Chain A
Amino acid sequence: MKRRLAISIGLLSCSMVAFQVALMQILSISQWNHFAYMVISVAMLGFGASGTALAFLRNHLVPKIGSNLAFLMIFTSLSIMGILFFSRTVFGGFDSYLVFYEKRHYLNLICSYLMLFVPFFLGASALGLAYSHYASDIGRLYFADLAGSGMGGLLMLILLWHVSPSVVPFVIACLPLVAGLLIFRHNGKTVAEKTGLLTLALLALVLLVAGFLNPPILPSSQYKSLSRALLLPDARVVETINSPYGQLKRVSAPALRYAPGLSLGYTGQVPVTEVLFHNGDWLGPLVPMALPEREETVVLSALPGTPDAEGAQESLDGKETGHYLDYSTQALPYVIGTPGKVFVADAATGLQAGYALSRGAKEIVAVEPNSTVVGMVTRNIAVPGEQISFIAGHSRYHVQQDDRYDLILLPETGSFGGSSGILALEEQYLFTLDAFSLLWDRLSPGGMIAATLWVDYPPRSTFKLLATMAVTAESKGVEDPADHIVAVRSWSTITCVLVKNKVSANNIDKIRTFCQSRQFDPLLYPGIHPEEREVYNMLQDKSFFRTTDLLLTREREKLFREYDFQIRPATDSRPYFSQFLKLGRLSKMREVFGSASMPFLEVGYLIVLLTMAQIFLASFLFIVLPLIFKKVPGKGKTSLLVFFSFIGIGYMFAEMVFIQQFTLFFGSPLYAASAVLSAMLFFSGTGSACSQKMVTGSPRLRLVAGVIAVLLALLALFLPSLMKATIGNPLPVKVLLCALVIGPPAFLMGMMFPSAILAIRHVGDGSLIPWAWAVNGSFSVISTALAAVISVEAGYQTVMWVAVAAYLMAGISTRFRLFSIFVK
């Protein structure tokens, strides 16, 4: 029985993690992806609520534990499939974009929460019931749980490559079904139990077959870019690829054109192109990459030390390449010089790479993190392989792999009309001070770093970018950053260029001529006159220019403090370039923009705060309130609450920091998350299996907590430096390093939960265990939102220090009487 129970628990845990990942994917495709985060967090509270439910129902469920576990698992399977069949109600019933506008969508949102809550609640109830009844074997069961969770993540990595997101839940639903059937034993069961189980199993089978043969169509919000593009006449999806990176669609329509911030002086045609959409959001157009026709393309000028320097021509006449981006501010770096070697970071569909080629670049390295995008681009447009290396990978990793670049192009950030803060919680490692420092070091003597932003109002992204450039230049010994930064503004875009050498008078003349010919206005170059800044594109708010100038001076620190938005440069520890919200200014924002509009100004961070508030409220309702009304047996329940909440927080915080640190190290968020989660779960599982023999009393439990705190503190201090020093190693060495770093703390962290369960298993005849399960589950979920808030406000390093403090607190709480009843 115990072996089968362990396997069943492994299968169930596998399905829980896999379903969580599948839901994230489905909700990201169908809705605003921040709501995916919010909905999942609340759904995961099913873990906490299951503990509370078990505390009340345990005595009723234990007598027939074999049947009840089987029923709970099969119901989990049915509910996973049920959600998909009710997907119109769940995912289509509410539209996340309308939640702030129509009150009825709140109700739909709550319905969605409840429906998504059910499978997690049922699955977690089965796990909690098994732990509380078979507490003496907790080490082995918890190992099966962790091992199963690890397998769930790996299973999704495979499934998402091969199965459509609408079918994935049906594959996942097989796992709890098998788990339930495996655990059910015929001996000693009544006819009613056998008939009930058979009926449920048959129903599950029918749903499975129906799901595989006729998978439900997932509805998508009408406000997603893809939904709107498909409303265009003759629009159609030409190609779809599903992968762990998300869903990629290639769409064709005769009215799809893309020309960001095109000059109003442009009189040519904007070409119709196919467009790629990632999870229903705009990714980029597929513009053919063509080599420049040499006789027509005349080099404007060249960077000192580059091969074209001698042949550089000064005239603007004839420098046009026929590419429509000649008439965008993105042409600015090519006005300053003709780069021979170009690096295009996060290249998306390769528009910038193609343009660099048309501007005469000899060698272009374009790096895109999503390998399916690289595949789709190279299959559908001809990429000249001799000039362009289009690589799938992490830009910061690849930029360090080669010698110097004449031009490094950063990706467009935000979108036309503002991104509504949608990227606020996205870690943008290319826009941090650490990244700019690294990019500066990879530049050739006259090299440039260029980025184009959409004009936003109130202005914030331009200010943060300029501040990042200025601080970087100063950190590299530049006396006056104003001598090294140029920027040009159209009616809707601003391109900023950080130049390693001082900008010459010759280049300033070219920028002036370029602006005049394109009806752009220069924003920055050395010695710019105020009247030059508003010739074609006037601004109602003149403070924009004053603030811009202030950013390039040493007085910027005061500006960072006083400005209503967060414009202090991002760092690797706080890599949120697009997070502009200052919590202290929320009421002012609401006053000026109104409650309904304000969320669309800075929605990303608000959603996290809202999620946290929701989780705290739900935790109070599910855990604290029942604790008040139901007298928990045994003394010292506060120490129980303290211990299990702190190990929940400590574990999740450490895990999140590890994923963040290893994302840069491995150069891929996906592989970093896989490696970290696998290592954490493997070592924690091993620790859990060994816990019964090694942790035989509260002093040892205290010692384990203390050692974990010391190890995490050491990592908080030295991990970033270790990562930087070893980033150049080959992949197998990196994987080994990852295991060596994560292994020791994870091994010990895995001992904490089962050891404490063992300690309390005799208190109140084991009735404290469900509470422990509830508290640990809830705080694990709270931690995800809390860690996001702490990392935004204080940085990832602080998150790690909080994890250290959490384990210290957990260690201290074992001094209470509750933990003295250790069974050897």
Chain B
Amino acid sequence: MARILKYPLTVLLVTAALPALSAILTGTGEQDFARLRSAMVRDQIVARGVTHRATLQAMRTVERHLFVDASLSSRAYEDNPLPIGYGQTISQPFIVAYMTSLLDLKPEDRVLEIGTGSGYQAAILARMADSVYTIEIVKELAASAKKRLQDLGYHNVEVVPGDGYYGLPGNAPFQAIVVTAAAEHIPPPLIEQLGEGGKMVIPVGSQFMVQNLILVEKKKGRITTTNLMPVRFVPFTREETR
């Protein structure tokens, strides 16, 4: 009897000890994550010129490490995008912050996101806006993001599995639209569903390097775009520009 009891007890003890051991080894307990998050905002985002207070607050709050695979959680606050499977990545923290700051969201805003991915961008938006609708075409990603966002208490986010091309006409107009799923054209229905004075932001680049951002604005029915550069690059050597 003692032997029978001894075995599960050992398993239980080992199981309980493992997370602690892992945390010791990787140095990433909850407090550490909070510290990493704070450092991320300071060193990667503020240092690059993002000053939008609500965005910075959201970036400090949302637990990015819970939006990546457990094996990558210790790297969640690095200055890189990370793979999330299905040929997709969770964007570099700075890009998420920069895109969000460009939208200049207000608490009463309704936001549409095309390309949910892990749900991280939606969580950031949900901290700043009234409601977030996010469409993901890969049904496995949509299901996991939906569960994750629900578990984390983001009740103002609705994850919609499907083709983002048509947007969500039933919930339009949107004050802001984020198209994180790179597209070589902007679907006309999305332009239509952008409200007056609304802003749309589109990152352009590969999965691993966003080269520029397109900010689309609708003012008095007129559409304009601005090509913004997340990384300022002066394409001449210093001495030669003198």
Interface residue range, chain A: 35 or more
Residue interface mask A506-549, B partner, CB < 8 A = 1: 00000000000001000000000000000011111101000100
Contact B236 A259 (CB under 8 A): no
Q: A258-B184, A492-B214, A538-B224 known; A597 and B139 CB under 8 Å?
A: no
Residues on the B chain within 8 Å of A588, using CB: 237
- The answer to whether A594 has its CB under 8 Å from any CB of chain B is yes
Q: Number of residue pairs across A and B with beta carbons under 8 Å?
A: 153
Residues on the A chain within 8 Å of B204, using CB: 416-418, 455, 457, 492
Residues on the A chain within 8 Å of B214, using CB: 491-492
Residues on the B chain within 8 Å of A543, using CB: 234-235
Residue interface mask A449-486, B partner, CB < 8 A = 1: 00000011111000000000000000000000000000
In the assembly, what is the distance between CA of A101 and CA of B206, in Å?
14
Contact A222 B240 (CB under 8 A): no
Residue interface mask B202-219, A partner, CB < 8 A = 1: 001111110110101000
- The answer to whether A56 has its CB under 8 Å from any CB of chain B is no
In the assembly, what is the distance between CA of A100 and CA of B240, in Å?
32
- The answer to whether B225 has its CB under 8 Å from any CB of chain A is yes
In the assembly, what is the distance between CA of A264 and CA of B216, in Å?
9
Contact A536 B223 (CB under 8 A): yes
Residues on the B chain within 8 Å of A434, using CB: none
Residue interface mask A402-423, B partner, CB < 8 A = 1: 0000000000000011101000
Q: A223-B87, A254-B163, A255-B137 known; A97 and B187 CB under 8 Å?
A: no
Contact A596 B80 (CB under 8 A): yes
Contact A457 B229 (CB under 8 A): yes
Identity of the chain A residue whose Cβ is nearest the Cβ of B181 in the assembled complex: A228
Looking at B86, B188, B223, B231, the one whose CB has the most chain A CB atoms below 10 A away is B188
- The answer to whether B34 has its CB under 8 Å from any CB of chain A is no
Residues on the A chain within 8 Å of B18, using CB: none
Interface of A is mostly: loop
Contact B207 A264 (CB under 8 A): no
Contact B237 A417 (CB under 8 A): no
Looking at B83, B137, B185, B236, the one whose CB has the most chain A CB atoms below 10 A away is B185
In the assembly, what is the distance between CA of A222 and CA of B138, in Å?
13
In the assembly, what is the distance between CA of A102 and CA of B228, in Å?
29
- The answer to whether B192 has its CB under 8 Å from any CB of chain A is yes
Q: A102-B83, A255-B165, A261-B185 known; A540 and B233 CB under 8 Å?
A: no
Contact B208 A101 (CB under 8 A): yes
Contact A266 B207 (CB under 8 A): no
Q: Which of B208, B225, B235, B237 contacts A491 (CB 8 A)?
A: B225
Contact A233 B223 (CB under 8 A): no
In the assembly, what is the distance between CA of A416 and CA of B179, in Å?
14
Contact B209 A264 (CB under 8 A): no
Residues on the B chain within 8 Å of A492, using CB: 184-185, 204, 214
Q: Which of A97, A254, A538, A563 contacts B225 (CB 8 A)?
A: A538
Identity of the chain B residue whose Cβ is nearest the Cβ of A324 in the assembled complex: B185
Contact A601 B209 (CB under 8 A): yes
Contact A264 B227 (CB under 8 A): no
Identity of the chain B residue whose Cβ is nearest the Cβ of A564 in the assembled complex: B235
Residues on the A chain within 8 Å of B235, using CB: 458-459, 543, 547, 563-565
- The answer to whether B197 has its CB under 8 Å from any CB of chain A is no
- The answer to whether A268 has its CB under 8 Å from any CB of chain B is yes
Residues on the A chain within 8 Å of B192, using CB: 267
Nearest chain A CB to B75's CB is how many angstroms away?
A: 9
Contact A597 B208 (CB under 8 A): yes
- The answer to whether A593 has its CB under 8 Å from any CB of chain B is yes
In the assembly, what is the distance between CA of A177 and CA of B65, in Å?
53
Residue interface mask A540-561, B partner, CB < 8 A = 1: 1101000100000000000000
Interface residues of B (CB under 8 A from A): 79-83, 85-87, 137-139, 162-163, 165, 182-188, 191-192, 204-209, 211-212, 214, 216, 223-229, 231, 233-237, 240-241
A-B contact pairs, 21 of them (CB 8 A): A98-B83, A222-B85, A222-B87, A228-B87, A233-B137, A233-B139, A233-B162, A255-B137, A255-B165, A258-B184, A262-B186, A264-B223, A267-B192, A270-B185, A418-B209, A418-B211, A455-B212, A457-B212, A491-B225, A540-B226, A547-B235
